[in-house]
Structure 1
Amino acid sequence: MHKHTLYIRLLCFLMVGLSASCKLKVKTVEKVDEQVNYAEMVYPQLDTENSRWFFFSSASRPFGMVNLSPDTEIDGAWGSGYRYKTDTVQGFSHIHAWQMSGVSVMPVTLTSSNQNTIFRDFSSPFSHQTERIKPGFHYLELDRYQVAASLTSTTRVGLHHYRFPDDSRAAVLFNLNTMLGPCENINGKLQKEDNRTLAGQVVMKPTMRRPKPLTIFFKVKLSTDIASVDRDPTTGNYLVSLTNDSEPVLMKVGISYTSLANADLNIQQEMPHWDFDAVVADAQKEWNGHLGRIKVEGGTRIAQRRFYTDLWHALQGRRIISDVNGAYPDNTGEDFRVGQLPLDESGKPKFNHFNSDSFWGAQWTISTLWGLVYPEIKAQFVHSLLQYQKDGGLVPRGPSGGNYTYVMTGASSTPFVVSAIQEGIITEDLESIYEALKINHMPGGIMEKSGYEHNTQLGGGLKYYVEKGYVPYPIPEGKFGGHQDGGSLTLEYAYQDWTLAQLAKKLGYEEDYQYFLQRSENYKNVYDATSGWIRPKNLAGNWLKDFDPYQYKVGFVEANGAQATWFVPHDLEGLAALMGGPEKAAQKLHAQFEEAEKLGFTAGTSHDVEEHPEYRRIPINYGNQPSIQTGYVFHKLGRPDLTQYWSRQVIQQTFSGLSPATGYNGDEDQGLMGSLAVLMKMGLFQINGGTDEDPEYLIGSPVFDKISITLHPDYHSGETFVIEARDNSNENVYVASLQLNEEPLVGPVIQHSALTSGGYLELQMTDQPTIDNNSNDNDL
């Protein structure tokens, strides 16, 4: 039996074994790392009935430039890529990124009946029964051609393993000119360099969000000889026929956004050999190294598998766009250029450059998780964002293809960068970083631009926010982009101003500190005391007529007024005062949770049903970013017991399934919902995004008996931080007492400096609510 065939059968056996054990309780053990293969715990098919182009990954590394996987739908950014219920493969493509796609290939067998139609009719059915997926690996069988296809990758190189039927005419179709997910691929070219090497390039057309084209350069190396390369004059696509060989065919595809030479260099540096199983093993080792930084004990097998699947989501989606030598595509200026990242003393890039969806909502998700568990990743993203500013003048809020996209709203990168500084991850050039961030908060900066407003800067309403203290709804000048919703924009700008003020304070810029601190109180200007909600105003200062707090996307970005009202993470005490005090505020929010529970705390099971007449009126939505912090708002209202109770309910109903049919119930923007689920299950949350002087973590209700976090020696002084929840159960969701390193902890809060010093946090769990000193009332 061939070594790779044996590998596949062994993998099948392991996966069946995992499935059979899903309902078993897992015993608590002291050395979890010796008992658990974390990569094998991941269930990549989670929510794939609802996935979008960049949502699903299989044969990829953390943040890999190459994310090689089968595509069953190829038309549009939404509802495309790997869709579990579509049983026909359209090809294996190498790029699944924010507004980016490319290099789709399809192994085929040629016959007298299909050789004249193969360029138009090439898709193949497959069965999930024979499919096997895990991080860094994908195996399936193309039933039409009887081809067994296995996929794996390094960061920048995809590796294919095809076993064709004996005596078949084997070929690989390169669909370089095609609609592929979010964008059309055009001007595809492929040429033979030698008997086993091909060189090619393809252009990704601009999209509404990514306004400039980008060329993908790629090199292909085969383990067998090329018989011929034929181009179809109608489609412009290529068919590479292979010599008839009974051995499996291996194919390397290295990509680059800068040059063919760098695509070749990426292969030389990352995959100089042909050992498929070694690449798979190395991928699993890399994933285990990342996933194993958090070790959970207790709970069901399904709960643990879902946790590591959530964590896996937090480590992908946002893709590397720089080569191994640090070359990267810079599309921020009028003309495309190849940039060069700074190199360290050994000649290696100091950081990677990234393609990324918005940081809108990142303050409650990846910013917190990466800062605690993956500080080296957070540092790289900060340096990447600042590189964009050096090249194009603005810190982006969601760059694609080396290009500004102006996705979503505000200056969402400011809290992310400020938190990295406050956490001690970024320590140099703070003054220049501050000046770079400040640009976005002033005229000419990114706050002036609404969503995807590429050529104007009126849609964000910044001048009104500065002059009047709020962004009017509607913007009087008219429509310029997306998300011109004054209620949400005012709240967002106020929070982001507060975070910038914290950095100004740290640097001793007192005048700036007071200026942005004053602006951060603008949220008060859109609070309507009569209705008790945040309410949009027009330019004249009149409240929106016939206001309905449950009307979706009327003055609010991807939210209704009930959801958006609680977006004051920097001053919840001030918001509570406007509502008549923390007790009344807690009652109001508690009632919203009781109502939202009837719909499972989400506006449907996917982003595309949020505007359904029933779902859109939900008062709390854990399927989109604007209100995902609300469970921890109770903490700031003196009711941590309600945080503990409701966060457990949200986890149970929203983030506990393990099925292709559900998972994140909405908008999983490149790991935001996955990381949110991880943080809630760990019982750690930063309500203001970790942007104060010594960031604080609010302690919730961990779902596992024991959680061990391995701290990073380059960024943290401690080695491990352990959270143990004694007597934890589905009923014992409340924290009766806390001890940090065997000393009583006053209040369910821990500072970043204390946590990263390492130690042991013990929570005594109970089924009775325990009220914080700020409140004496146990009834709502």
Structure 2
Amino acid sequence: MIKPSRRRFLQTTTLSGLALATSSKWPALAQSATIIGERLTDQVDIFIGTGGHGHTYPGATVPFGMVQLSPDTGTSGWDHCSGYHLDDPTIMGFSHTHLSGTGAADLLDILLMPGTGTPHPDPGPENDPGSGYRSRFSHADEIATPGYYSVLLKDSNIKAELTATNRVGLHRYTFPEDATGHFVIDLQHGVDDDNLQGERTNILTSEIEIVGNDTVSGGRRTKEWAPGRYIYFAMKFSKPFNKAVIVSGANTLDPSVKTATGDNIRCILDMGDSNDADVVHVKVGISAVSVQGALANLDAEVPAWDFEGVRRAASEAWENELQKIAITTTNQTNKKIFYTALYHSLVAPTVMSDVDGQYRGSDLAVHALPTGTQNYTTFSLWDTYRALHPLYTLIQTKRLPDIVNALIRMAAEGPAGVPVWPLQAVETACMIGYHSSSVVAEAYVKGIPGIDYKAAYKYWRKRAMDDDYRGLGNYRKLGYDAADLDDESASKTLEYAYDDWAVAHLAKAAGEMADYKLLLKRSRNYKNVFDKQSTFVRPRLSTGGWAEPFDPKGMGHSKKWRDYTESNSWQATFLNQHDVYEYMDLFGGQSQFLAKLDHLFNQSSELPADAPPDIAGMVGQYAHGNEPGHHVAYLYAYAGAHHKTQSRVRMLCNTMYTALPDGLAGNEDCGQMSAWYVLSSLGFYAVDPVSGNYVFGSPLFDFATVDLGNGHKLMLEAINNSADNIYIQSVTFNGKPYTKSWFRHADIIDGGKFIFHMGSKPNEHFGAKPADRPPSFVPQHELA
């Protein structure tokens, strides 16, 4: 069976003729969503990414929050992976869990929708909102700031306001005067089923209970992208409801029935008439463990009905996180893009444990955490190992042990083995490789405390050495994954080679030196899919020959399956992060490697008709809209042409990110797209996260300070910086001349200051000497 990549919608549907957000729609939205002020939260424009194919949501959450309380405007098609798209005219309701910028869909749990007049238990179609509970709305009536969302529901004239704590969503609804109000709770609501023919969420089971006249609780188990996950809720109302009616399928149950189970459960709450404008608060706690856990979360985090207090606390939580990086620039647009990117970088992974420390493990059993620790979920690892997790090693060092230990627990507890793309205790097995290896190995190399790396090694060793997992058996036997035996084999070979590099470091941490040496050697298996004659990475057959026909812009050699993952040979050819100098020799040397890089960026951007939409943000055949190419502009530095890295990186910062709803070149992918901008605009990037090194780019801001924790700060100053002065003329580090085009994490973790002197013409000597170029395939301890 072919395991699909995350784009399970691609073969069936996309939103055809999607109209990207333009200035005709955007000014009113921008005006309502942006407040002039000194707080960094005021610089965040949450609507960036909600148009185009960014797949972000505008609702309320706190940093790494378990609750993401946001409006749902649609549930089918690729551009509704987050439940929201800017082009939609109606809102179905407000659910409590969302994915940020992914290319696959799930969650949208526990939908609540207020209404007036005759209630409807179903949403109805978008083209006839009056037939269901959905409502029309206008972007002019939306406000979104970190931790807060508001909108006017036009059909009922109800003002909806949302805020959140870590585990609780708090709603405030202002009903119009002289209206009969109600709420609909829809436990069937969620992403459409796999066939995308209009069916609703695949519910394995759901349950609901009416408790008194102010509380509803329940839960559900779904079979969607993360099959078999659990979610529970406890929902309390500030105003008692007059009557609660459960609807099960097509049957409206007698009001005396207080509990129900099934696969299509809804509930209608009659709130009675309002004489004056009636304000109703609703607080909803969630849990993956139990209703009791959800109730305990609710009572612990929102004991009162203080909406403004919770809103202020959410805003302060965001302000504290955003203040970890301070920038100085006269370009207010770039400032908005930067802090929105930093915001999106801190949305996922998400907490997934209760206030008492209980969590549902990847074995689907309930476990207890040590006091003072938290469990995490929502790891888009194929994407985020590249920039998001390196960013966390700088600004989330206190949180990072919990994040890494969560991955280790998943590996220990779950039948699927080491994490690949885990979501709410379920392994989706989405995408290729197993790049949790990189996250754990990077933490080891960078000395993150509180993690038992030696104990962790056995789990990643099993995957690397024993598991017959998605072509790994072929990879170990042949030295590559074979195109006639497995899908996406060329990309898998490259990704497994990088995982070997990462796991080798964990072997060293465990003192397993024989494994260490074996894995280092095996991490050069990328050579086995490199064709020296064409200087392209190509799919290879189990017999040893190259798969034919070959088109470097194509998706593969046959219609049976693709040979590359969300890329073609042009992009895959530069997917080498850890062994660049050995790789460079395969092209024939430095000059040939540079010429090939130039050709990548300078040729036609034409793609075949069957190319997935993930291959986006094109500059030649470089695709910034998808993650495999995110390090490529920095590879010039390894060939002694760092000035070309500077030019390419500045160009990408300026062209691939805008302050508009369609301002992302591709899926946000749980923060990776934004984390690339955060790091690159600061002036550096982790080409090979496991190396523990960073390569300079071209700093976008005049001054930046990164709070590394424990009183340590990394400062970066760019003198004579401007839109024209993009080239580094010279660098000093802590007051001394610095000629290298890279630096170690160990060099700056206790703080330091880089000063870049910028100019309009390239200094081709900076970083050009072999001794000044970034190291590659050099374990960190050998650089000490």
Q: TM-score, normalised by structure 2?
A: 0.85
Cα contact 1:681–1:703 (8 A) shared by 2:
yes
**Aligned-partner Cα distance in 1 for 2:204–2:111:** 12
- Distance of aligned partners of 1:329 and 1:542 in 2 relative to their CA distance in 1, 3 Å threshold: same
Matched, 1:574 2:582: yes
For residue 548 of structure 1, what is the aligned residue in structure 2? 551
Contact 1:357 1:669 in 2 (8 A): no
Equivalence for 1:453: none
| Cα displacement (A) at 1:192 | 2.3
What is the deviation of 1:611? 6.7
For residue 168 of structure 1, what is the aligned residue in structure 2?
A: 179
- Shift of residue 414 of structure 1? 0.5
* Counterpart selection for 2:144 from 133, 136, 139: 133
Could you tell me which residue of structure 1 aligns to residue 109 of structure 2?
102
Distance change (3 Å), C-alpha of 1:404 and 1:19 = closer
Partner of 1:217: 232
Tell me if 1:237 matches 2:266: yes
Aligned equivalents of 1:227 and 1:46: distance in 2? Answer: 41
Q: Which amino acid aligns with 2:398?
A: E
Once the two structures are superposed, residues 429-481 of structure 1 have per-residue CA deviations (whole angstroms, 9 ceiling, x without a partner) of: 2211222221221222xxx43xxxxxxxxxx2222221221111121xx6xxx
- Which residue of structure 2 lines up, in the alignment, with residue 493 of structure 1? 496
Match of 1:313 in 2: 344
Match of 1:358, as an amino acid? S
Aligned match for 2:613, one of 601, 609, 613: 609
Query: Aligned with 2:381: secondary structure?
Result: coil
Q: State whether residues 726 and 764 of structure 1, in contact with CA within 8 Å, keep that contact through their aligned partners in structure 2.
A: yes
Counting only pairs closer than 5 Å after superposition, residues 231-270 of structure 1 correspond to structure 2 as: 231-233=246-248, 234=250, 236-245=265-274, 246=276, 247-270=278-301
Counterparts of 2:418 and 2:752 in 1: how far apart (Å)? 36
Given candidates 722, 733, 748, the residue that maps to 1:729 is 722
Q: CA deviation at 1:50?
A: 3.3
Distance 2:341 2:622 in 1: 21
Output the CA distance in 1 between the equivalents of 2:631 and 2:492. Answer: 17
Deviation at 1:666, TM superposition (A): 1.9
> Helix, strand or coil for the counterpart of 1:764?
strand
Structure 1 contact 462–471 (Cα < 8 Å) conserved: yes
Equivalent residue number for residue 192 of structure 1:
210
Q: Are 1:152 and 1:159, in contact at CA under 8 Å, matched by a contact in 2?
A: yes
CA contact 1:359–1:413 (8 Å) conserved in 2: yes
1:226 is aligned, of 234, 241, 255, to: 241
| Alpha-carbon distance in structure 2 between the residues aligned to 1:57 and 1:232 | 30
- CA gap of 1:99–1:134, structure 2 versus 1, over 3 A, is same
Asked if 2 retains the 8 angstrom alpha-carbon contact of 1:552 and 1:611, the reply is: no
- Matches of 2:699 and 2:766, distance apart in 1: 22
- For residues 489 and 391 of structure 1, what CA distance do their matches in structure 2 show? 25
Matched with 1:685 is 685
Deviations 1:541-590 (A, max 9, x none): 00122211111354211111111111111111111111111122012102
Contact map agreement 2:352 2:376 (CA 8 A) in 1: yes
TM-score, with length taken from structure 1: 0.85
For residues 317 and 108 of structure 2, what CA distance do their matches in structure 1 show?
Answer: 24
Cα displacement (A) at 1:187: 4.2
Matches of 2:656 and 2:287 in 1, distance apart?
Answer: 38
Which whole-Å CA distance do the structure 2 matches of 1:281 and 1:439 have between them? 47
Query: Which one-letter code corresponds to 1:734 in the other structure?
Result: Y
Name the aligned partner's letter for residue 438 of structure 1: R
Percent identical: 29
Tell me the CA shift for residue 41 of structure 1. 0.9
CA RMSD after TM alignment: 2.7
1:407 aligns with 2:430: yes
Residue 550 of structure 1 contacts residue 617 of structure 1 at CA under 8 Å; is this kept in 2?
no
> Secondary structure of the equivalent of 1:396?
coil
Q: CA deviation at 1:153?
A: 0.7
Task: Tell me whether 1:367 sits opposite 2:389 in the alignment.
Answer: yes
Deviations 1:310-346 (A, max 9, x none): 11111114322211111112343xxx42122222xxx
The answer as to 2:317 corresponding to 1:286 is yes
* Aligned residue pair count: 703
Amino acid at match of 1:369: L
How far did residue 198 of structure 1 move? 1.9
Q: CA contact under 8 A between 1:550 and 1:618: conserved in structure 2?
A: no
Q: What is the Cα deviation at residue 409 of structure 1?
A: 1.2
- The answer to whether residue 571 in structure 2 is matched with residue 563 in structure 1 is yes
Consecutive unaligned residues in structure 1, runs of 5 or more: 1-11, 22-34, 450-459, 479-483
Q: Which among 515, 518, 526 is matched to residue 518 of structure 2? A: 515
Residue type at the aligned position of 1:306 = I
Contact 1:224 1:243 in 2 (8 A): no
- Which amino acid counterpart does residue 479 of structure 2 have in structure 1? G
Residues 218-237 of structure 1 deviation map (CA, whole Å, 9 limit, x = unaligned): 11111111100012341642
Amino acid at match of 2:339: Y
Indicate yes or no: 2:159 matched with 1:148. yes
Does the aligned pair in 1 maintain the 2:357–2:368 contact within 8 Å?
yes
Distance in 2 (alpha carbons) for counterparts of 1:117 and 1:316: 30
d(CA) in 1 for partners of 2:493 and 2:376? 29
Per-residue deviation, residues 91-150 of structure 1 (Å, max 9, x unmatched)? 111111363231001100124xx6798886111101111211111111100111010110
Change (3 A) 1:338 1:78: farther
Question: Counterparts of 1:78 and 1:169 in 2: how far apart (Å)?
Answer: 35
Q: CA deviation at 1:189?
A: 3.5
Contact 1:603 1:616 (C-alpha < 8 Å) held by counterparts: no
Deviations 1:686-732 (A, max 9, x none): 1111x23xx2211110111011101111xxxx521110000001111
Give, in whole Å, the separation in 2 of the partners of 1:649 and 1:117.
48
CA distance in 1, matches of 2:739, 2:623: 32
Q: Which residue in the other structure is 1:457 paired with?
A: none
Q: Does 1:712 align with 2:712?
A: no
Encode CA deviations 1:194-246: one digit per residue, 9 max, x unaligned: 22222222332x12x423x2332211111111100012341642111114344
Q: Is the 8 A contact 1:603 1:665 kept in 2?
A: no
1:503 to 2:534 alignment: no
